[in-house]
């Protein structure tokens, strides 16, 4: 032990998981957790369930599972609820999403059928391609926020939950830039009462959560909680927040490959990425204004990893294009192609082609699980909760939130080191620097 462990409350009682948006990702996550609880499948892809953390020297051979090292909630203690503008219960929604096979869904049908979405806070102009009828009405946006708070408190009381977290699995909203109404909590609350057109539904959910001291994770690229007003509320109420946009599929590949190219000082002329996908997410992203939000999130990754300002002869002015094409026959089984024009010794050109036949929600579901468990851990740890933004969870996001004066860290391997060092720090274990000179004394 190098230091005192940081105080973390034990995870006593049940943890409520509140999910705005019960579509492909949310239902794949909830059905998966239940299948795992019934020992029908394994939590593959989840760091909290299958990952380990090395402690001390390499010769110490201390490598516990992360779930045995930090006090996380148990899967059996998770209780779910959500909102959606479609009335389908989670079984029906999962069948429509077409991610999991019917046989698996049928084995947890009783559980999924009980999960009926509460009426959503929704406004057409923010997600143009969706038209649902399970929508709340209120006299203004503050009124809608209060109805969400009622839903949350009812769910907590009814299920005798000791803690809650909220994780956004709803659609990508249109591209928004911070406006004056987002600049302070006072302006935001006035905007809620005055029905400001600049307050998106996802912000109303985040406001309701933070007001009640419920941590919030943003799985979409939406601006949502990444505005001064809601960060002020998070700090005021000492609530952890994190986002944005689950790092899956093509961007995951980018943040695996780009650090490797940079490590070997291989240059990049251009990176062209295109996708076909046919799920509801693809339909939403078919609207140029929602696509713009996604595009911004996907494009920023390479600039930050490759640092053209430090390596102008390798990366200055490289071309980066991202395309998403809605193609219904593929459903959730997306195909992503990448073409990289790279160059090596003496400037000689080479190419790399990637054809990733991935399953979007299969990649996203374990991230949702980890974020739920880690955000709950952060909430039980006053030292972490009072910081608001949880940058150590950057590992999970395409556009990681960080303090306003920092640039985000996108390199998957640095993000993982940061996450594990945070866990070591919390438990009073030595941080691992990989220096390793002591082995040669």
Ligand X SMILES: NC(=O)c1ccc[n+]([C@@H]2O[C@H](COP(=O)([O-])OP(=O)(O)OC[C@H]3O[C@@H](n4cnc5c(N)ncnc54)[C@H](O)[C@@H]3O)[C@@H](O)[C@H]2O)c1
Residue numbers of the site for ligand X (CB under 6 A)? 20-26, 83-86, 97, 120-122, 127, 130, 132, 169-172, 201, 219-220, 245-246, 248-249, 279-281, 284, 360-361, 363-364
Task: Report the candidate in 246, 236, 240, 212 with the shortest Cα–Cα distance to residue 225.
Answer: 240
Supply 430's token pair.
């030595």
Q: In this complex, which beta carbon is closest to ligand X, that of residue 200 or of residue 268?
A: 200
Q: In this complex, which beta carbon is closest to ligand X, that of residue 53 or of residue 81?
A: 81
Q: In this complex, which beta carbon is closest to ligand X, that of residue 32 or of residue 249?
A: 249
Cβ 388 to ligand X shortest distance, Å: 22
Q: In this complex, which beta carbon is closest to ligand X, that of residue 293 or of residue 387?
A: 293
Supply 429's token pair.
């274990």
Q: In this complex, which beta carbon is closest to ligand X, that of residue 362 or of residue 378?
A: 362
Q: In this complex, which beta carbon is closest to ligand X, that of residue 191 or of residue 366?
A: 366
Q: Look-up: residue for tokens 């990702």?
A: 25
Looking at residue 389, what DSSP letter applies? B
| Structural element, H or E, at residue 234 | helix 228-237
Cβ 180 to ligand X shortest distance, Å: 23
Backbone angles phi, psi at 287, to 5 degrees: -80, 125
CA distance 201 to 135: 11
Q: Which residue is nearest to ligand X (CB)?
A: 23
Cis amide leading into 78 (omega within 30): no
Q: In this complex, which beta carbon is closest to ligand X, that of residue 80 or of residue 83?
A: 83
Cβ 332 to ligand X shortest distance, Å: 7
Cβ 16 to ligand X shortest distance, Å: 17
Q: In this complex, which beta carbon is closest to ligand X, that of residue 24 or of residue 70?
A: 24
Cβ 195 to ligand X shortest distance, Å: 16
Decide: 261 and 268 in contact? Cβ < 8 Å.
Answer: yes
Cβ 199 to ligand X shortest distance, Å: 12
- Torsion sign (Cα): 288, 292, 297, 302: positive
Looking at residue 437, what DSSP letter applies? G
**Distances, alpha carbon 391 to alpha carbons 125, 217, 375, 422, in Å:** 31, 12, 11, 10
Q: Quick one: how far is CA 9 from the chain centroid?
A: 24
Cβ 171 to ligand X shortest distance, Å: 4
| Structural element, H or E, at residue 206 | helix 201-211
Task: Report the candidate in 277, 407, 392 with the shortest Cα–Cα distance to residue 329.
Answer: 277
Q: In this complex, which beta carbon is closest to ligand X, that of residue 18 or of residue 261?
A: 18
Q: In this complex, which beta carbon is closest to ligand X, that of residue 220 or of residue 342?
A: 220
Orientation of helix 228-237 relative to helix 201-211, angle to 10°: 20
Decide: 18 and 155 in contact? Cβ < 8 Å.
Answer: yes
Cβ 196 to ligand X shortest distance, Å: 16
Decide: 241 and 400 in contact? Cβ < 8 Å.
Answer: no
Decide: 366 and 302 in contact? Cβ < 8 Å.
Answer: no
Cβ 242 to ligand X shortest distance, Å: 14
CA distance 89 to 67: 31
How much of the chain is helix, strand and coil, in % rounded to 5? 45, 15, 35
Cβ 198 to ligand X shortest distance, Å: 16
């Amino acid at each position: 032990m190098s230091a005192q462990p940081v105080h973390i409350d034990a995870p006593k009682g049940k943890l409520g998981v509140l999910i705005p948006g019960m579509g492909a990702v949310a239902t794949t996550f909830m059905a998966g957790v239940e299948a795992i609880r019934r020992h029908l499948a394994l939590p593959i892809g989840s760091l909290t369930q299958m990952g380990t953390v090395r402690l001390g020297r390499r010769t110490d051979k201390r490598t516990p599972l992360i779930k045995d090292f930090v006090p996380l909630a148990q899967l059996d203690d998770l209780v779910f609820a959500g909102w959606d503008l479609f009335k389908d219960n989670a079984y029906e929604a999962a069948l429509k999403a077409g991610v999991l096979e019917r046989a698996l869904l049928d084995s947890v049908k009783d559980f999924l059928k009980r999960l009926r979405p509460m009426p959503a806070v929704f406004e057409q102009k923010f997600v143009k391609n969706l038209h649902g009828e399970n929508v709340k009405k209120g006299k203004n946006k503050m009124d809608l926020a209060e109805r969400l708070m009622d839903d949350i408190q009812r769910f907590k009381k009814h299920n005798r939950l000791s803690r809650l977290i909220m994780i956004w699995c709803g659609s990508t909203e249109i591209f928004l830039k911070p406006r004056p109404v987002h600049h302070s909590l006072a302006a935001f609350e006035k905007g809620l009462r005055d029905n400001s057109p600049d307050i998106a539904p996802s912000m109303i959910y985040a406001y309701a959560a933070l007001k009640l001291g419920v941590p919030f994770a943003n799985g979409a690229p939406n601006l949502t909680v990444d505005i001064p007003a809601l960060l002020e509320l998070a700090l005021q109420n000492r609530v952890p927040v994190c986002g944005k946009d689950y790092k899956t599929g093509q961007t995951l590949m980018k943040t695996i490959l780009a650090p490797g190219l940079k490590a070997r000082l291989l240059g990049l002329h251009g990176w062209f990425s295109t996708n076909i996908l046919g799920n509801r997410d693809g339909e939403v992203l078919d609207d140029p204004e929602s696509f713009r939000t996604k595009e911004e999130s996907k494009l920023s990754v390479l600039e930050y990893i490759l640092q053209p300002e430090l390596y102008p002869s390798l990366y200055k002015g490289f071309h980066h294009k991202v395309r998403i094409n809605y193609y219904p026959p593929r459903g959730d089984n997306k195909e992503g192609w990448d073409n990289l024009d790279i160059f090596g010794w003496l400037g000689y050109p080479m190419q790399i082609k990637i054809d990733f036949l991935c399953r979007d929600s299969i990649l996203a579901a374990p991230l949702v699980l980890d974020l739920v468990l880690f955000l709950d851990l952060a909430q039980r740890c006053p030292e972490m909760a009072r910081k608001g933004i949880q940058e150590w969870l950057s590992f999970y996001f395409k556009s990681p939130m960080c303090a306003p004066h920092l640039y985000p860290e996108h390199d998957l391997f640095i993000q993982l080191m940061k996450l594990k060092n945070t866990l070591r720090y919390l438990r009073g274990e030595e941080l691992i620097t990989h220096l390793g000179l002591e082995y040669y004394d």
